[in-house]
Amino acid sequence: MDALVEVQNLKAYYRAFLYGVDREVRAVDDITLTIGRGEIYGIAGESSSGKTTLIKTIAGAIRPPLKVVSGKVVFHFAGGTQDMYAMTPDERMALRWLYLSYIMQASMNVLNPVRRIHHSFTDFAFRHMKVGKNEFFAKVGSHLERLKLDPHLLQAYPHELSGGMRQRMTIALATILTPEFIIADEPTTALDVIVQRDVLSMIREIQREIGSSFLFVTHDMGVHATVSDRVGIVYAGRLVEEAPTRKLFNLPLHPYTQHLVGSLPRIGDAKARPSLEGRPPNLAMPPEGCRFHPRCPKRMEICSQKVPPMITVEPDRRVACFAVTGDQA
Ligand SMILES: Nc1ncnc2c1ncn2[C@@H]1O[C@H](COP(=O)(O)OP(=O)(O)OP(=O)(O)O)[C@@H](O)[C@H]1O
């Protein structure tokens, strides 16, 4: 695989005072993954599993109480190879928008609510494009048309657009400079199913047209089935399985992935699918060994004693589970 982003043994913890005690919340704990050029890499996992913290850490958007404890995030952009945490804040800023951009769930936060939408494009992209105003707006117009958005919408205020249209406009804004890497955090979660489909096909189209790589985060496995090329499953701050999407859905290996895939509703279901017993762990006091073991139907003695390493079980898939790989140490 031609790697665009390499995340190596990344650990990022929050410092939190809980019940008067100073604790570390180990939200990202030793994650290693590679995102290929032109690939849509999905991250899935339930609420509080560390998805948002992982993408903030990859994007270099770190502020206290979050701290990168160890590990690396390396980008192989056209401008050269860069190590996110060896860069100065200015160098990091220079990457934003041009090479790396971010699509969030709450699109209103990006589009200035009291100004017409064209101002948002000017504010974010004009100085980077290094062309005159007329040429700039011609480029913005053709980018919108390419994404099947009417350029007249640039004259509108954000509140005049529907939620789905606003989100599509935010995606147009995030991609106007054709960044090589786009991070999307639950970009369709607040949208109804029909609008969600439009936004997902827009993301696929962008990936085809401008060849960007995406890191696509959502707890919704149905969305991953539609849009992601590969999926990494996160549980309690750790990556537990990674595979091409089709393989992951056809034959999930990790018991947690089996639960996620097995709990997807299917047409003809007479009753609700069983939910997993127990709750995800408190990341300030995670269980020893495999963090999933207290809830795992396949747990063995070793699972509470040792952290299962991520093992490559096929050239394109990895899993961290003693029940699958045995103890290979
Ligand atoms: N500012 C903070 N201080 C302390 N702990 C935090 C802070 N922000 C998040 N956490 C903790 O870090 C862990 C991971 O949170 P994170 O938001 O990354 O999870 P998530 O998978 O993105 O969840 P969701 O899907 O609900 O957004 C959680 O245990 C959360 O309580």
The ipTM of this complex is 0.97
Q: How far is the CA of 179 from the centre of ligand 1 (A)?
A: 27
Could you tell me the pLDDT band of residue 274, with boundaries at 50, 70 and 90?
low
Q: What is the pLDDT of residue 108?
A: 60
Q: How far is the CA of 84 from the centre of ligand 1 (A)?
A: 22
Kindly state if the Cβ of 280 falls inside 6 Å of ligand 1. no
Kindly state if the Cβ of 65 falls inside 6 Å of ligand 1. yes
Q: Which two tokens stand for residue 286?
A: 């995670």
CB 180 within 8 A of CB 100: yes
Mean of per-residue pLDDT scores for the chain: 90
Q: Is the pLDDT of residue 107 over 60?
A: no
Kindly state if the Cβ of 207 falls inside 6 Å of ligand 1. no
Comparing 19 with 3, which gets the higher pLDDT?
3
Q: What is the pLDDT of residue 96?
A: 80
Q: What is the pLDDT of residue 314?
A: 96
Buried b (16+ CB within 10 A) or exposed e, 148-158: ebeeebbebeb
Kindly state if the Cβ of 12 falls inside 6 Å of ligand 1. no
Q: Is the pLDDT of residue 276 over 90?
A: no
Q: Is the pLDDT of residue 44 over 80?
A: yes
Parallel, antiparallel, or unpaired: how do β-strands 40-44 and 230-235 relate? Answer: parallel
Q: What pLDDT, in 10s, does the model give residues 116-133?
A: 999 999 998 998 888 999
Q: List the end-to-end C-alpha distance of the chain, in Å, as a whole number.
A: 27
User: Which atom in ligand 1 lies closest to the alpha carbon of residue 217?
Assistant: 22
Kindly state if the Cβ of 283 falls inside 6 Å of ligand 1. yes
Q: Rounded to 5 degrees, what angle do the CA atoms 276, 293, 280 make? A: 50
User: Which atom in ligand 1 lies closest to the alpha carbon of residue 54?
Assistant: 18
DSSP state of 302: G
